[in-house]
Amino acid sequence: MHKESRIRDPLIDGNKTFHDITVEVAYPVEGKANKYWWILFGLSVILMLWGFGCIAYTIGTGIGVWGLNKTVNWAWDITNFVWWIGIGHAGTLISAVLLLFRQKWRMAINRSAEAMTIFGVIQAGLFPLIHMGRPWLAYWVFPIPNQYGSLWVNFNSPLLWDVFAISTYLTVSTVFWYIGLIPDFAMIRDRVNEKINPLKKKLYSLLSFGWSGRAKHWQRFEEVSLVLAGLATPLVFSVHSIVSMDFATSVIPGWHTTIFPPYFVLGALFSGFAMVETLLIIVRKVVSMEAYITIKHIEYMNVIILFTGSMVGIAYITELFMAWYSGVEFEQYAFLNRATGPYWWAYASMMTCNVVIPQLYWIYKIRTNIIATFILSIFVNIGMWFERFVIIVTSLHRDFLPSSWTMFSPTFVDIGIFLGTIGFFFVLFLMYARTFPVVAQAEMKTILKSSGSEFKKIENE
Amino acid sequence: MNNNIVYALYDDDDILLNSVKKMKEKNLNVKEVYTPFPVHGLDKVLELKETRMAITAFIYGCVGLIFGSVLIYYIMISGEYKSWPMNIGGKPNFTFFKNLPSFVPVLFELTVMFAGHLMALTYFYRCKLFPGSQETSPDPRTTDDKFLVEIEHENFKEVEKFLKTTGAIEIKKKDDK
């Protein structure tokens, strides 16, 4: 019953037992943080506080402290919003889509990838909130009965679709993540000695919801996971499609294209996997998960990056072709301006980082090299940020009326808030890595006998 | 009645599955099995009924779809604006059907939101999982690497002898802890 084709590479290295998995997954939670963790955490907290300061300054003074102007009325904030939302997509792809496809390699990385999703979406959500100027009125985006007339939200607007898409995405992902976490919290709960650490025992008892691992509960657990995966799969595609419609339903040249939904979804997966790699290459080292997050896992992710990166490249070229083929001179100029105008350097960075550099993954040695993967993943992160910047700013800064053409440059507040969200994201992720089981240990135990390297060796003999 | 419970501990999922099969063949009353991870095939051996979680999700999804439709119909078509549909950007709302394409995203999201959250709540309710629940398995090792079978018996000696043949590593009565 634990057979697996011998040509498949093992997913768990070393001679592990069920108990080893428990011990190694619980280790970062039970042990003390090392020096590197504290350095990283300290830096992230400083960045986060700087960002919060900039947010306070924005709210106190007004959106005027940003670099926006009458022509470029959407720039840095929405770029960051789309970037963070996109990063979130890889987590749901790994935990939901790969579950439907029964990909066993997802089990080692789904917990952290999904944590990244949730933390990324939290950062994304900050931007529209701040851009409202009066964030205490944020509840106005929901259709709540009111005394203003009655004044309702507009269900024809893609911005409202975004509200529904992102709140559904954030909450359903969190529930999906948490249901998987319950058995693992129970594992930690049962390892904590009540006499030595009563508070920890109490905390993990609360978090584990009284999980006991009954056969009927596991049966329901598996069905619930499967159904949630089935729900999350169309959800994740809908979210970035709807984000793309914020642009695609407008009449701005460079935005008004039907290719946007698939193009954005693939771009999101592309950037998300890059961020998963950036994080996991650090995490597997810091909390010693090399046996579970193996080179094979990294190679699989690199293959996905290569595929989605090439698809994104096709989308870029299709856009250029359609601009020429449409015969609309505004559309043609928008793209000519993107590639050769004053923001040519942003376009060039985007093309280099997203289309050219990931092609290196065709080389086996590069896609199985950890340092190369780490560097390339940073390139993709940067490239995907530039993609959003290019789409948003270059389409706006030279619009239909040449007299209002202008340039956008960020102020220190724009940059500060962005750096602040990166800090906030890492603060959340680092705290997660010390208190949560970073690998879905219950699921890993189910594949130990079929995909563990020692078990496979015995099987093959 | 508690005196009649015996716990058998196993350290391998395959041995556990075979043992439970044998117990069922011997017509022992297997009350519960605690495992650290889902053991595939165990629910069949234990003759557990198929779970209806997926069905509840479908029903909740339908509820979400209907809720969304009614909400949007009230806000955009009927409601306060019965005689004056909202006219936004020169795109007035006259009938629900004609405006449906732009309502689809929200309807979809509400369907997923209702199905996902309400199913999760049903799952917590049915499994009696909630923060503050003090329940744990009889042996804390079952969340680590051991598998525990809870059996109701009449003659301890006889059951113990039988369980030993199935490969149990520990057998004890509920009392002697």
The more confidently predicted of residues A4 and B7 is B7
A209 touches chain B (CB under 8 A): yes
A263 located within any domain: yes
Residue numbers of the domain that contains A268:
18-143+152-456
A179 contacts B145? CB cut-off 8 A:
no
| Residue whose tokens read 């720039």 | A75
Both structure tokens of A123 = 């950062």
Please report the pLDDT score of residue A4 as a whole number: 73
**Band of residue B79 on the pLDDT scale cut at 50, 70, 90:** low
Q: From A278, A300, A276, select the one nearest A368 (Cα to Cα).
A: A300
Phi-psi label, residue A272: left if phi above 0, alpha if psi -120 to 50, beta otherwise: alpha
A164 contacts B106? CB cut-off 8 A:
yes
Judge whether residue A366 has pLDDT over 70: yes
Please report the pLDDT score of residue A390 as a whole number: 92
Top CATH class, B2-36+145-173: alpha beta
* Structural domain spans, chain B: 2-36+145-173, 53-126
CA B81 from chain center: how many Å? 44
Judge whether residue B145 has pLDDT over 90: no
What SS3 state is found at A143? coil
ipTM of the complex: 0.89
A:326-355 residues touching chain B, CB 8 A cutoff:
none
**Band of residue A88 on the pLDDT scale cut at 50, 70, 90:** confident
Q: What is the CATH number of the domain that holds A66?
A: 1.20.1630.10
Q: How many residues does chain B have?
A: 177
A213 touches chain B (CB under 8 A): yes
Chain A, chain B: beta-carbon pairs less than 8 Å apart: 202
A2 located within any domain: no
| Residue whose tokens read 């698809």 | A311
Q: From A1, A11, A15, A214, select the one nearest A107 (Cα to Cα).
A: A11
The more confidently predicted of residues A126 and B23 is A126
Phi-psi label, residue A209: left if phi above 0, alpha if psi -120 to 50, beta otherwise: left
A8 located within any domain: no
Both structure tokens of A143 = 């259709």
Q: How far apart are CA B131 and CA A204, in angstroms?
A: 10
pLDDT of B82-95, one tens digit each?
555 566 666 666 77
A170 touches chain B (CB under 8 A): no
Both structure tokens of A253 = 């040249």
CA A12 from chain center: how many Å? 25
Both structure tokens of B1 = 């009645």
Is A229 in contact with B116 (CB distance < 8 Å)? no
Judge whether residue B2 has pLDDT over 60: no
Closest alpha carbon within chain A to B49: A216
Please report the pLDDT score of residue B92 as a whole number: 66
Strand partners, B149: B8, B33
A18 contacts B144? CB cut-off 8 A:
yes
Helices (H), A133-214: 158-191, 198-207
CA B116 from chain center: how many Å? 13
Q: How far apart are CA A78 and CA A104, in angstroms?
A: 36
Cα–Cα–Cα angle for A271, A115, B145, rounded to 5 degrees: 125
Instruction: Calculate the alpha carbon distances from B92 to A454, B56, B96 in Å.
Output: 67, 37, 11
